[in-house]
Every structure is written in structure tokens, then in C-alpha cells.
């Protein structure tokens, strides 16, 4: 079993760290939020006052932070975590950030002899709780092989997408498509409801037809259609609109750099930004339905 520092215990990081504890790893946690740490300590984790203290003497550091600036702060900024780790330490960043930010952190880590991998995830809070996330890694084969057994208690799938940054590229492509299909699913359900159809019945019909998709299968955006999803608890928890807006911004910036056309992704970005600006930034992203059905 490994000794692991887990930094960032939000909607995703909390349940991920819990699955590492359940697998028998020795986990020390750090988060800026005291209550987030307390729940993990109650489950058997050690805690520390800083990221650096949590990582003292561990085999592996895992971060699950909101955005690139947080990752840079922890690894390169005030925390200077990379400076304090002995050569050979495995460092896994699971946050969704820009590919070039991941490459920048990887470059510094590699110079210091650390084994760094970017490993953003897909599968949402449900996947984090169930230990069924998809990890999309970027790095070299040897680091990937070393990281795999650590990731497995949290994962159903573990992919190596390519070199450093490739995990982030694959992740932002996935999330751009997710934003598009959640908005499209909401639009289709709202059109059906405007015609007097029951959204639950319509959802079942589309699920078994050519419009079937992940949102309808496990994350229905219409309140009351599916138990246990954010739509059935006023869109609390889950994957926040502000994080989806961040990911659509990453896709947009990347498309500008690559001179790729993403007309539908750009429209989705505008829809989510409009929605965030209307006071919904801290709701789950499936609340995009409210653009079509304001309450």
C-alpha cells in the first residue's frame, strides 16, 4: 500500500480520497476548507496544515483542484510543492486545466526528477463516489504504469492519451461535447413539454431511440425524472456551471490556437456563460434546462 497526499477535497476530490482510504492506502489530506478535511479525517485520513506538510515523506501526491491557477499555486507558487518533493515521487494532477499549464508543471516536475502525469477524469460526482471514473492520462509510459495501481480504486477506465498535456486535450474535447449534449437534451425535453408531453416519458422514448445519450441515461436535467441527480435536488452539488464554463473556455482557447472551427462548441460556451451570468454559476451544469424553462 502507498502513502498518498491528497490535495483538493471538493465535490470530486473528497469521494476520490475516500476510495483510496477504502483500498487500504495511507492518505493525508489538505484543503483550504476545514470542513472538507474533517469528513475525510472522520473516515481515517491524516490531515495537515499545508499542502507541503501533507506531502512530507509520501510516495505519491494527487491534486484535484478547480482550475489551472490553483494547480500552479500549489505546485509552483507559494506552496512550491514541487521543490519540497524528493526525486522519484509520483505526482498526479487530476484537475481539468489547460494543456499548456499541465505541460508547464510537467516540465518543472521532470527537471526535478519527479514522475508527473496529468490525469483529468470523467464520470462526475457519481463516478467519484462509486470508484468508476475514467482517467485520461498524459505522460510517459513508465509514469503511467506506476500511476495505474494508485488510480485503479477510483476508476473503471484508465487511458493513456499521449504525452504530457494529452490527457487535458482529450478531457476538454469530451467536456465540450458533454456541454453540447446537455444543452441539446434540455432543448429537446423543453420542446416536448411545450407540446404537452411528459418529460419522463419523452426521456424514455429518446433513450431507446437515435437521440439516446449519457445525459438521458444517468444525468437527466429535468427535475423529478431521475432520482439522485442534481436536477432532483434543485441542481445542488455535481459539476458546477462555473467549472463547465471554464472547460468551454479551455476548448475555445485551444481551438483558437489550433485554428480549429468549433461553431457548436462556441455556441455552447455562450449559452453556459449567459446562464452563469444569470446567477446560476454555482448550480450543477444540468441547470442549463432553466434557460429553456425559467421557473
- Residues between 152 and 211 with contacts to ligand NAD, criterion CB under 6 A: none
Task: Yes or no: say if 87 and 112 are a contact pair by the CB < 8 Å rule.
Answer: yes
Q: Which three cell numbers stand for residue 208?
A: 431507446
- Closest C-alpha among 6, 51, 52 to residue 26: 6
Least distance to ligand NAD, CB of residue 238, Å: 6
Using the rule CB under 6 A, which residue among 5, 7, 82, 115 binds ligand NAD?
A: 7
CB 74 within 8 A of CB 52: no
Neighbours of 166 (CB within 10 A): 20
Residues that bind ligand NAD (rule: CB under 6 A) add up to a total of: 29
Is 242 annotated in the active site?
no
Q: Does 15 bind ligand NAD (CB under 6 A)?
A: no
* Distance separating alpha carbons of residues 18 and 265, to the nearest angstrom: 34
| C-alpha grid cell, residue 51 | 499542502
* Binding region for ligand NAD (CB under 6 A) out of 8-16, 184-192, 215-223, 287-295: 8-16
Question: Given the rule CB under 6 A, which of 39-47, 105-113, 117-125, 263-271 is the region that contacts ligand NAD?
Answer: 117-125
Q: Where are the beta strands (DSSP E) in 48-198?
A: 60-63, 90-93, 115-118, 121-122, 133-138, 155-162
Q: Which helix (H) or strand (E) holds 111?
A: helix 99-111
Please tell me whether residue 288 binds ligand NAD under the rule CB under 6 A: no
Pick the stretch among 100-108, 116-124, 150-158, 202-210 that binds ligand NAD (CB under 6 A): 116-124
The answer to whether 102 touches 164, Cβ cutoff 8 Å, is: yes
189 membership: H or E segment, kind and range: helix 166-194
What's the start-to-end Cα distance of the chain, in Å?
50
Q: Which one of 52, 112, 129, 171 is the catalytic residue?
A: 171
Q: Applying CB under 6 A, does 13 fall inside the site for ligand NAD?
A: yes
Site for ligand NAD in 46-85 (CB under 6 A): 51, 64-66, 70, 73-74
Binding to ligand NAD, residues 241-270 (CB under 6 A): 243, 247
Among 99, 104, 124, 167, interactor with ligand NAD by CB under 6 A: 124
Considering only the stretches 24-32, 53-61, 83-91, 262-270, report the one whose residues sit in contact with ligand NAD under the rule CB under 6 A: 24-32
Short-list 229, 220, 222, 212, CA closest to 290: 222
Interaction residues for ligand NAD, span 82-101 (CB under 6 A): 95-96
Give the C-alpha separation, 231 to 226, whole Å.
8
The CB-nearest residue to ligand NAD is 10
Q: Which residues bind ligand NAD (CB under 6 A)?
A: 7-13, 30-33, 36, 51, 64-66, 70, 73-74, 95-96, 121-122, 124-125, 238-239, 243, 247
- Which positions are annotated as active-site residues? 171
Amino acid at each position: 500500500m502507498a502513502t498518498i497526499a491528497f490535495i483538493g477535497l471538493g465535490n470530486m476530490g473528497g469521494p476520490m480520497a475516500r476510495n483510496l482510504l477504502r483500498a487500504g492506502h495511507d492518505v493525508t489530506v489538505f484543503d483550504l476548507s476545514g470542513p472538507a478535511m474533517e469528513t475525510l479525517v472522520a473516515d481515517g485520513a491524516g490531515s495537515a496544515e499545508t499542502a507541503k506538510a501533507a506531502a512530507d515523506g509520501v510516495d505519491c501526491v494527487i491534486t484535484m483542484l478547480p482550475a489551472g491557477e490553483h494547480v500552479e499555486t500549489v505546485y509552483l507558487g507559494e506552496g512550491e510543492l514541487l521543490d519540497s518533493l524528493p526525486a522519484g515521487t509520483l505526482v498526479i494532477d487530476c484537475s481539468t486545466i489547460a494543456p499548456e499549464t499541465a505541460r508547464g508543471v510537467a516540465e518543472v516536475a521532470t527537471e526535478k526528477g519527479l514522475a508527473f502525469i496529468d490525469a483529468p477524469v470523467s464520470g462526475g460526482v457519481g463516478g467519484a463516489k462509486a470508484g468508476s471514473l475514467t482517467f485520461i492520462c498524459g505522460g510517459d509510459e513508465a509514469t503511467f504504469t506506476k500511476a495505474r495501481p494508485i488510480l485503479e480504486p477510483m476508476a473503471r477506465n484508465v487511458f493513456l492519451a499521449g504525452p504530457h498535456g494529452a490527457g487535458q486535450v482529450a478531457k476538454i474535447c469530451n467536456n465540450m461535447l458533454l456541454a453540447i449534449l446537455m444543452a441539446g437534451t434540455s432543448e429537446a425535453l423543453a420542446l416536448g413539454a411545450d407540446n404537452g408531453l411528459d418529460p419522463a416519458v419523452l426521456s424514455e422514448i429518446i433513450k431507446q431511440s437515435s437521440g439516446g445519450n449519457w445525459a438521458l441515461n444517468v444525468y437527466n436535467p429535468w427535475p423529478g425524472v431521475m432520482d439522485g441527480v442534481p436536477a432532483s435536488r434543485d441542481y445542488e452539488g455535481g459539476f458546477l456551471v462555473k467549472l463547465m464554463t471554464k472547460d468551454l473556455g479551455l476548448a475555445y482557447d485551444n481551438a483558437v490556437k489550433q485554428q480549429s472551427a468549433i461553431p457548436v462548441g462556441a455556441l455552447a460556451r455562450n449559452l453556459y456563460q449567459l446562464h452563469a451570468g444569470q446567477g446560476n454559476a454555482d448550480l450543477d451544469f444540468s441547470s442549463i434546462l432553466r434557460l429553456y424553462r425559467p421557473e
